[in-house]
Amino acid sequence: MTHINIASLEVGQEVGNVEILLTRDSLVRYAGASGDFNPIHYRDDFAKSVGLDGVLAHGMLTMGAAVQVVVDWIGDPGRIIDYGVRFTKPVFVDANDGAVLKVTAKVAEIDLENSTVRIDIAAVAADLAVLGKAQARVRI
């Protein structure tokens, strides 16, 4: 059972925020776990040859990192019943400095009848929103 009382929640209430450092090591680990070895995720020369500014984080890595703030808040990933995003901008990962993904999650909708809450997630890197319409629906 979750520790959250749905009646105490308010629309607009922030439920978490975090800054996540993505490094080239993060990309290598994710590539190994996912099997996505596209060279745009680890070779600057290749990324630039296809018109990118440099190596970029895997979209699914960005998506997964962003929802972690909701998992931390709800305490049980099994309570997330729906999650979706639109990828709006790539997250470029500098070879030396990496990239900081700033994530904020807020209550957007409360459904008392079904004991669910929609959480809207904002994910920003290099002052650009990198995910659009990032929403998780959780069962309280």
Q: Note down pLDDT in tens along the chain; length 140 residues.
A: 468 999 999 999 999 999 999 999 999 999 999 999 999 999 999 999 999 999 999 999 999 999 999 999 999 999 999 999 999 999 999 999 999 999 999 999 999 999 999 999 999 999 999 999 999 999 99
Domain range for 24 is 6-139
| pLDDT on residue 32 | 96
Structural domain contains residue 40: yes
Asked whether residue 1 is assigned to any structural domain, the reply reads no
In the chain, the number of structural domains is: 1
The CATH number of residue 29's host domain is 3.10.129.10
First-last CA distance in the chain: 8
Considering the domain boundaries, does residue 46 fall inside one? yes
pLDDT value at position 3?
85
Instruction: Tokens for 96, please give them.
Output: 């030396």
**Alpha-carbon span 110 to 49, nearest angstrom:** 47
Asked whether the whole model's pTM tops 0.85, one would answer yes
The two beta strands, 131-139 and 128-129, are unpaired
Tens-place pLDDT, residues 100-114: 999 999 999 999 999
Q: How confident is the model at residue 2, as a pLDDT?
A: 63
